[in-house]
Amino acid sequence: MTKNPTEFSLTLDGKTVNFTPGETLYEVAQRHQKDIPTLCYDPRLESFGGCRLCVVRLEGAKNPVASCTTRAEAGMVVHTSTPDIETHRKTLLEMVLSENRELEVSPLRGYASQELTELSERYQARTGRFEGKQSGESRIDDTNPFILRDYDLCISCYRCVRVCAEEEGDYAISVMNRGFETQITTEFGGLLKDSDCTFCGQCVQTCPTGALADKKAMRYSETPGEIIKTRSICTYCGVGCSVDIMTKGEQIVGLQPAMDGPANEGALCIKGQFAYDFVQHEDRLTTPLVRGDDGELHEATWEEALDKAADGFKRVMRIHGRHAVYGVASGRTPIEGDYMMQRFIRAGFGTNYIDNCSRA
């Protein structure tokens, strides 16, 4: 049912809808399930208005306006999808696609890596329609083990630069030059390892073309099998970032941040993003090891290992007293594990010397 206009309402595709002061037209449209295409938009970042793909028709405005940067105002009359707007979007897309060298990129490159490909299919947009110069020069000389810098695929949406600054506060990458000379770069055009980059992978995950890509995951691009995503929690620290673990069969082939993770909203640090090899590493311990009289570690049963540990604790208590025992719980354990740890130290040894590795 069409509502009556209020001081915070506008007309969206013929219907009166309310908005919250400060909302953009794109945000209002999204709340009403309008499928407006975007390329330079990342909901976590300040709107940029670079790609103009999100244009809408605003009655009274001379030209289509970018919905992601235009604030909603009372009385606006907005059309999100008209034949001329769709033609406008398709032409813009074909200009972008003429710049891009490759559309078929592995989804293992990054969370958003399929965005341009999907838009080109949606609009049946032609590649190579606008012949001419192309921008972006890949940095294959950057041999860091985590991030591929394949700027041949860069469309200058600046999402990587903005996420690095706004989400991470790193400012490790920036934009150099303008027009066809535009280049995403570090300061002085160096390698990522020599910059302020912390290898959190945020630039990789927001890149809509796969120009920035997860090198570790790409090792499995040719591995047969469907990619299955399983929601989980990073096990490294108490922040508890939500992640999607990607597998092909029994093999972990990559890890992506959960954009709807309540603790991280798509952010991860280097450990959560890239340090998952331990799970299937051949050196991972699968049985307890106990040091024998020969000074070497030997495989043991859990009973043998726990008896050995208990003997050690008892000996320390006997010689040095109960306050010689100090427990440090791991930030990687669940809360039940932490509870048991403090019971073990407080009730078991009679000391309050217990802390957590996040503080210790």
Q: Which residues bind ligand FES (CB under 6 A)?
A: 38-41, 49-54, 66, 68
Angle, CA of 169, 175 and 179, to the nearest 5°: 155
Distance CA 187, CA 165 (A): 14
Give the shortest CB-239-to-ligand SF4 separation in angstroms.
4
Whether 342 and 329 have beta carbons less than 8 Å apart is answered as yes
Alpha-helix runs per DSSP H in 194-294: 202-206, 215-218, 270-274
- Partner in contact with 209, chosen from ligand FES, ligand SF4, none, beta carbon below 5 to 8 Å by kind: ligand SF4
Q: How far apart are CA 303 and CA 300, in angstroms?
A: 8
Contact 156, 100 (CB under 8 A): no
54 interface partner picked from ligand SF4, ligand FES, none, CB below 5 to 8 A per type: ligand FES
Residue 108 interface partner, choices ligand FES, ligand SF4, none, CB cut-off 5-8 Å depending on type: none
Name the residue among 180, 172, 209 with its Cα closest to residue 40: 209
Closest to 245 (Cα-Cα) out of 212, 206, 278, 222: 278
In 3D space, the residue among 99, 209, 190 whose CA is nearest the CA of residue 142 turns out to be 190
- What is the closest distance, in whole angstroms, from the C-beta atom of residue 47 to ligand FES in the complex? 7
Q: Which of ligand SF4, ligand FES, none does 325 bind, CB closer than 5 to 8 A by kind?
A: none
Q: State the minimum distance, in angstroms, from the CB of residue 208 to ligand FES.
A: 10
Q: Say how far apart CA 156 and CA 182 lie, in whole Å.
A: 7
Query: How far apart are CB 68 and ligand FES at their closest, in Å?
Result: 3
Shorter beta-carbon distance to ligand SF4: residue 78 or 160: 160
Residue of closest CB approach to ligand SF4: 272
Report, in Å, the least distance between residue 233 CB and ligand SF4. Answer: 7
> Choosing among ligand FES, ligand SF4, none, which partner's interface includes residue 269 (Cβ < 5 to 8 Å by kind)?
ligand SF4
Q: Which residues bind ligand SF4 (CB under 6 A)?
A: 154-160, 184, 206-207, 209, 211-212, 234, 236-237, 239-241, 264, 268-269, 271-272
